[in-house]
Amino acid sequence: MSRRAGSDDIVYTVVSALAEAAAVAPDELPYTLAEYVDPAMLESLVSRDHNCELTFQVPDHEVTVTAAGEVFVDGVRFRDGERPIQDGERSTLNGERSILDDDRRIPDGDELPVLPNRAPNFGLQQFISELPATVYQSRNEPGWPIDFISDNCRELTGYDPNAFVLGGVTFGFDLIVPEDRELVSTVVEEAVRNEEPFTVVYRIRTADDELKWVMELGIGLVGEEDPIPFVGVLVDVTELTHDLDLQNHVLV
């Protein structure tokens, strides 16, 4: 019988299951679990004597974790410490998610709500990654912390997306040059107050200490949860700065 994860090691077990599904070592998984689910929710799920499960999406896979500590990737139970499941032995989720073969049935019970996946679906993600601009979602907090940023942020900023989403790097505190911060803050505040989109041009210092000019077009999603999210795009306009009126950085 496979070892069932407790609350202390459920995060490790889920990561191990996903790594096995991707045929990589756990430390080679190309994303972080926290991008797709709050790991504390998993710990809470398996620490209680509830009859429920949680399902969420990660790149290319669907994961279900039960209160009993079982982990299913794409309907196949992960058996930590055991040999890989051979053909004909697969323990799967068939049809209704709560129905399994005989003794491997997932108990019927209440389902926890699936946590919102902030990453876009993959068709849209591919489209975004091919745009000649960086797409982002941030929130109206100091520094404008990033919740999503497209892969081409590397070319613009020198940072990987994870440096923003997980590593705490922000445009406000780490990239925008100090002399331009107040201007950007003023423009954004006014746009939020008037419930309008904003456009602003400013300078950033990249991870490689390169100075670039950036045009940002964004909008605050007023009416959403507090702190309100911003969505927008960033365009490298460094080569165009000779033709811009840089005495007035605000473009309306």
Nearer to another protein, 120 or 167 (CB): 167
Which CB sits closer to another protein, 29 or 244? 29
d(CA 119, CA 56) in angstroms, rounded, equals 12
Shorter beta-carbon distance to another protein: residue 128 or 191: 191
CB 54 within 8 A of CB 41: yes
Least distance to another protein, CB of residue 10, Å: 10
**C-beta of 28 vs 87, nearer to another protein:** 28
- Report the interface residues with another protein, using CB under 8 A: 9, 11-12, 15-16, 26-27, 32-35, 39-40, 140-145, 160, 162-163, 165-170, 172-173, 181-182, 184-186, 188-189, 192-193, 226-227
Q: Name which of 91 and 150 has its Cβ closer to another protein.
A: 150
Beta strands in the chain (DSSP E): 52-58, 61-66, 71-73, 76-77, 110-111, 134-139, 146-149, 198-205, 211-220, 229-236
Q: How far is the CB of 115 from another protein (least distance, A)?
A: 14
CA quadruple 124, 35, 151, 20: dihedral, nearest 10: -90
| Burial group, residue 23, by CB count within 10 angstroms (0-12, 13-18, 19+) | exposed
Q: Give least dist CB 147 to another protein, A.
A: 9
Least distance from another protein to the Cβ atom of residue 31, Å: 9
Shortest spacing between CB 102 and another protein, in angstroms: 32
Q: How far apart are CA 204 and CA 195, in angstroms?
A: 26
At 134, which amino acid appears?
T
CA 62 – CA 118 distance, rounded (Å): 15
Q: Is the peptide bond before 120 cis (omega within 30 degrees of 0)?
A: no
Nearer to another protein, 5 or 215 (CB): 5
Rounded least distance, CB 189 to another protein, Å: 5
